A = this chain, B = another copy of it.
Amino acid sequence: MTITITAFEAALDKGRGLARDMRVRWALEEVGQPYAVRYVAWEEFKEEAHLARNPFAQIPTYEEGDLTLFESGAIVLHIAERFPGLLPQDAAARARAIMWMFAALSTVEPPIIDRDVVKYAERGKIWQGERLAMTDARIRGRLRQLSARLGESEWLDGAFSAADIIMAHLLSRLEGSGLLEERANLAAYVARAEARPAYQRAFAAQKAAWEANT
């Protein structure tokens, strides 16, 4: 059955792999499943056709037969349950991998997204500098905790899993900020994830789409 995902027609990151369709592309590449992409233009996000796929007017979405899903975390977990390779067989290890997906999205990602809100939506506000410092302090706290837990491990919990896709992708948003680079084991973790052939294929596909669509 054909899998169709949605992505920005013109992503604001200009093909740098930051949009959340990367997570879904990467997961599909890891499990070796082909997919089609429906590119959504900015003016289409709040139209009924897209809101039927995602009531929150976001990408990515996932369509396969009668099933339509939104939320990158949910889609990556669905792919990991549907096709082998991204979740451990052992029940406890599987529960921990899913736990890391939630931890990445609920605990690690919010201050990282907030940093972009400060940088772009609060540009020109007199408080921008002070808010950026507060946001960076929150991010540093989370990275310190994550770094301590990861230690010298290759991946979050045993073998590479769906959780590493989510965590490495959201940490990649910090590349070049200096924050990720303060924690050598986290910077190496992201680099290791991005060196995977499946990541490389997904990255090339979204970059080629940006170049073709703009």
A interface list, Cβ under 8 A from B: 51, 55-58, 66-67, 69-75, 77-78, 81, 92, 95-96, 98-99, 101-103, 105-107, 109-110, 113-114, 121, 125-127, 130-131, 134, 142, 145-146, 148-149
Contacts and interface: CB of A to CB of B under 8 A. Distances in A.
Oligomeric state, in number of copies? 2
Given A56-B145, A78-B98, A78-B99, 19 more contacts: A56-B107, A58-B107, A67-B92, A69-B99, A71-B99, A71-B102, A72-B106, A73-B102, A74-B98, A74-B103, A75-B99, A78-B95, A102-B105, A110-B113, A125-B127, A125-B130, A126-B127, A127-B127, A127-B131
A98 B66 CA distance: 16
A90 to B, nearest CB: 10
A184 B56 CA distance: 19
A52 to B, nearest CB: 10
Contacts of A98: 74, 77-78
8 contacts: A56-B103, A58-B107, A73-B102, A73-B106, A74-B99, A105-B105, A114-B114, A127-B131
A96 B69 contact: yes
A148 B103 contact: no
Contact of A109 (B75, B78, B96, B106): B106
A149 B51 CA distance: 9
